[in-house]
């Protein structure tokens, strides 16, 4: 059985709902250790002073915040502890909003919320009320000494909690100079219509299990082959020449590819590869017709 990472209560007005949090995701990343190429020994990191070059023991290390180049303000652990948010063991609901009002860029980590002992009835009440209202609760709580902003929402008959970034942690796209060119460009109706046809032809219900991390699987396969003693020969790959796309030709070729396919929808990655090659194919076809 999974282990709860937090237990407490949802504070909803004068109502407390005892709950537990469980991680909703398990990111799968292939992790490597750094080894010495000469003998295969694992490398260890040492903390070395930049001034005298001496290795510094852990008990002599303090925290410093750089306020200007090579100028630091030293902060003690006691000073930080005095500022730590009070761990109240409650998820405090501050307001309710529509789910559509929250841009996904604000979401961070996701957790399943389960009722704790004695909290099932209150949990069901809050869940049913939120489902009926179509609302998401914006809350605050303390997780691992850090105050978190979070969204509490119904999801398939249970409640889920997603920690969120604060407003000043999200970068505005207005800072991107490249977006200024968009004001000078307009897509004509025919281009929009063809792009919409391509979108419609590739539309499907979202099935998360259809999408796999192909790169991670290939890395694990490589590790397994090398661990079994197989000698691997890496073939050099040449970079494909960059071509300026003919937008209409790419749209036409993409639509033709999708329409000519069988009932099994191609994987999105393969479709994108064909779309990238479409301008070259269309250009060769036009040249042959001349």
* CATH code (residue 118): 2.40.290.10
Say if residue 14 is in the same domain as residue 111.
Answer: yes
Nearest to 278 by CA among 245, 229, 234, 240: 245
pLDDT attached to residue 145: 78
Over residues 138-190, the pLDDT tens digits come to: 999 998 878 899 999 999 899 999 999 999 999 988 888 888 777 778 888 88
Domain check: are 199 and 290 in the same one? yes
Q: What's the pLDDT band for 32 if we cut at 50, 70, 90?
A: very high
* 221 assigned to some structural domain: no
Are residues 124 and 152 located together in one domain of the fold?
yes
Same-domain check for residues 97 and 16: yes
> Tokens at residue 216, please?
């991670």
195 lies in some domain: yes
pLDDT of amino acid 288: 44
Claim to verify: residue 115 and residue 253 sit in the same structural domain:
no
Under the banding of pLDDT at 50, 70 and 90, the label for residue 80 is: confident
- Domain total of the chain: 2
Going by their DSSP bridges, the two strands 135-143 and 90-98 should be labelled as antiparallel
Position 132 in a domain: yes
Residues 249-257, mean pLDDT to the nearest whole number: 82
pLDDT (tens digit, 9 = 90+) per residue, 265-280? 545 444 444 444 444 4
In a domain, 194, yes or no: yes
Q: Is 11 in the same domain as 149? A: yes
Tens-place pLDDT, residues 176-208: 888 877 777 888 888 888 888 888 888 889 898
33 or 187, higher pLDDT: 33
Residue after which a domain boundary falls, among 143, 169, 195: 169
Asked if 99 and 163 sit in the same domain, the reply is yes
Residues whose CB is less than 8 angstroms from the CB of residue 162 and which lie 6 or more positions away in sequence, other chains included: 107, 108, 109, 110, 111, 150, 151, 153
The answer on pLDDT for 287 being more than 80 is no
> For residue 12, which of 112, 152, 118, 107 has the smallest C-alpha distance?
152
Over residues 3-27, the mean pLDDT reads 91
Percent of the chain surpassing pLDDT 90: 50
- Residue 256 and residue 147 in one domain: no
Average pLDDT of the residues of the chain: 84
Query: Once rounded to an integer, what is the mean pLDDT over residues 237-264?
Result: 71
Give the residue numbers spanning the domain of 249. 186-203+244-290
Which pTM was predicted?
A: 0.71
């Amino acid at each position: 059985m999974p282990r709860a990472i937090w237990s407490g209560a949802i504070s909803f007005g004068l109502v407390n709902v005892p709950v537990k949090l469980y991680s909703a995701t398990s990111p799968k990343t292939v992790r490597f250790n750094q080894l010495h190429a000469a003998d295969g020994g694992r490398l260890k990191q040492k903390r070395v002073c930049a001034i005298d070059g001496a290795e510094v023991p852990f008990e002599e290390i303090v925290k410093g915040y750089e306020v200007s180049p090579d100028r630091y303000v030293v902060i003690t652990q006691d000073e930080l502890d005095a500022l730590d948010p009070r761990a109240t063991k409650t998820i405090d609901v501050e307001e309710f909003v529509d789910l559509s009002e929250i841009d996904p860029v604000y979401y961070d980590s996701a957790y399943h919320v389960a009722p704790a002992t004695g909290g099932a009835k209150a949990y069901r009440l809050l869940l049913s009320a939120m489902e009926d209202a179509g609302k998401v609760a914006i809350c605050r709580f303390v997780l691992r000494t850090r105050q978190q902003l979070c969204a509490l929402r119904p999801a398939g008959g249970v409640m889920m909690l997603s920690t969120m970034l604060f407003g000043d942690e999200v970068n505005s796209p207005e800072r991107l100079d490249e977006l200024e060119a968009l004001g000078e460009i307009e897509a004509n109706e025919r281009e929009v219509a063809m792009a919409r046809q391509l979108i419609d032809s590739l539309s499907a219900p979202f099935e998360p299990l259809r999408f796999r991390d192909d790169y991670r699987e290939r890395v694990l396969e490589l590790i397994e082959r090398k661990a079994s003693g197989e000698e691997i020969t890496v073939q050099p790959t040449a970079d494909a020449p960059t071509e300026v796309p003919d937008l209409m030709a790419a749209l036409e070729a993409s639509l033709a590819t999708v329409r000519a396919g069988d009932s099994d929808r191609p994987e999105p990655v393969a479709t994108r590869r064909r779309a990238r090659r479409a301008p070259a194919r269309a250009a060769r076809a036009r040249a042959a017709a001349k």
